[in-house]
């Protein structure tokens, strides 16, 4: 459901293979990543709808050692949001939903929220607080939560908004869970049935469906079970079996922000349909891929279920990633040049090499590998960094110390080791990312900055 905290684009080798053709270079890249245990899943790449590369790496089931194949079904995590948004747009064109209606029209239990519209939910501009944080502290985890439980809890607690609607973009799983409930209210169908009847069946996506495998288990052939890696035990586990990831159990009945399941082949059918008016009118399809405009007239980079980028080298790209314990997913559509990259993985300690694949597709040099030098700091110095840092509301980074080794863990994700390259600067070896810590005048660590892909994200220490 949540996007991956560390967006992984590390390249495992240099440019020695650059003279090979594109497909061979992509294959060499992915084989090297799989050999290094940085890739476990299915990859499909197409140009103008023609598949130029499709391959499976690793197992669908680590217990039985069943191998993945092109028809293996993966949980899409936040890549599900594009289907939730499409469902709303279909209902809009049927005259059953108005994007500028207050959400209380469809969810009257939320009438205490004023001026939050359906459009705000779609664009992540609602200001709603994160439901996972609220439920983590207030929900009975001996039960499995559903969307109704989120609405009931919000109705009871009435948590304040984080910011005024349409004044800011802030990624919100809450908004997309509420959208699924709006789909159900407006259509009279379950969210799963609506997607099946209005998207998957018309597009002949025969191996795609909404699935909550713990809340409503059923036998599915060729299912790619998602696994998390325990650094301390040096072994893969189902996330259900680890305390730091067992939220997958009690949050399993929630749909809309995640829980669509699909295959690389079905997602290519989805990609092709989005160039047509099979599901929506021409005007409706155009709206899906338009970014939001905030109150101050500034533009975000999010449309309706898609991140949108106008790139000088690659043209217009619409994409989305997904991360949930056991899964790391990505779909990217190069609209200007009609190229498609689909990556579905069922290990979550993996890399998503989209940048490298793009460079190869456009005959650009691969980025060079960054090599960082580790230094040793005494345990008493490392202890000063231990604490909890808030990246955004409901999304924290915990720094812990064990056997003179610092570890970082983002909300809902695996623990990863971090290594010092100076007294206040640390780096990760699994991805190209750094953590820059900052002191106050009393020589206390008060904040950190996540440095990655040219970005700088601030996190204040809260514990």
Shortest CA distance to 423 belongs to which of 377, 458, 358, 374?
377
Catalytic, 78? Answer yes
Sheet holding 41-47, edge to edge: 50-57, 41-47, 339-345, 327-334, 315-324, 307-311
Given the structure tokens 């990259």, which residue do they identify? 341
The total of other beta-carbon atoms located within 10 Å of residue 128's CB is: 28
Residue tagged active-site, from 78, 187, 208, 262: 78
Give Rg (Cα) of the chain. 22
Question: Residues 15-20: contacts with CB within 8 Å, 24+ apart?
Answer: 15/365, 15/366, 15/368, 18/365, 18/366
Burial class (CB in 10 A: 0-12, 13-18, 19+), 126: buried
- The answer to whether the beta carbons of residues 180 and 147 sit under 8 Å apart is yes
Q: Tokens 């939560």 label which residue?
A: 145
Residue 391 has φ and ψ, to the nearest 5°, of -80, -40
- Closest by Cα among 415, 419, 408, 412 to 386: 408
Q: Contact, 413 vs 364, CB < 8 A?
A: no
Which residues are part of the catalytic machinery?
78
């Amino acid at each position: 459901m949540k996007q991956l905290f560390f967006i992984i684009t590390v390249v495992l080798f240099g440019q020695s293979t650059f003279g090979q053709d594109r497909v061979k270079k992509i294959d060499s890249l992915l084989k090297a990543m799989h050999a290094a245990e940085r890739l476990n899943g299915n990859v499909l790449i197409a140009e103008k709808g023609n598949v130029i590369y499709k391959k499976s790496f690793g197992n669908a089931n680590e217990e039985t050692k069943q191998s993945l194949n092109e028809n293996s079904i993966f949980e899409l995590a936040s890549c599900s949001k594009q289907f939730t948004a499409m469902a709303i747009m279909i209902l809009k064109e049927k005259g059953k939903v108005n994007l500028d209606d207050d959400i209380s029209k469809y969810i009257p239990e939320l009438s205490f929220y004023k001026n939050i519209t359906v459009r705000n939910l779609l664009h992540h501009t609602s200001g709603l607080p994160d439901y996972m944080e609220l439920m983590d502290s207030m929900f009975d985890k001996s039960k499995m939560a559903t969307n109704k439980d989120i609405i009931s809890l919000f109705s009871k607690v009435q948590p304040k908004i984080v910011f005024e609607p349409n004044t800011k973009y802030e990624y919100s799983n809450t908004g997309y869970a509420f959208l699924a409930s709006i789909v159900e209210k407006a259509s009279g169908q379950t969210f799963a049935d609506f997607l099946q009847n209005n998207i998957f069946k018309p597009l002949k996506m025969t191996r795609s469906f909404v699935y909550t495998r713990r809340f409503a288990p059923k036998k599915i052939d060729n299912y790619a079970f998602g696994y998390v890696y325990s650094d301390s035990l040096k072994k893969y586990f189902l996330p259900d079996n680890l305390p730091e990831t067992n939220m997958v159990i009690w949050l399993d009945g929630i749909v809309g922000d995640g829980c669509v399941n699909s295959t690389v082949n079905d997602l290519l059918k989805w990609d092709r349909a989005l160039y047509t008016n099979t599901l929506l009118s021409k005007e409706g399809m155009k709206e899906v891929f338009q970014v939001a405009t905030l109150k101050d007239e500034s533009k975000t980079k999010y449309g309706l279920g898609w991140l949108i980028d106008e790139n000088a080298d690659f043209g217009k790209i619409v994409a989305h990633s997904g991360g949930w314990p056991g899964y790391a997913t990505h779909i990217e559509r190069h609209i200007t040049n009609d190229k498609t990259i689909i990556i579905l993985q069922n290990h979550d300690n993996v890399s998503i090499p989209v940048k490298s694949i793009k460079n190869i597709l456009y005959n650009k040099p691969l980025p060079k590998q960054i090599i960082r030098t580790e230094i040793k700091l005494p345990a008493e110095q490392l202890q000063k960094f231990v604490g909890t840092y808030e990246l955004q509301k409901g999304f924290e980074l915990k720094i812990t110390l064990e056997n003179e080794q610092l570890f970082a863990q983002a909300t809902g994700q695996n623990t990863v080791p971090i290594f010092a390259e100076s007294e206040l600067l640390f780096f990760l070896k699994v991805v190209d990312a750094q953590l820059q810590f900052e002191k106050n005048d009393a020589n206390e660590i008060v904040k950190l900055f996540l440095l990655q892909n040219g970005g700088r994200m601030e996190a204040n220490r809260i514990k």
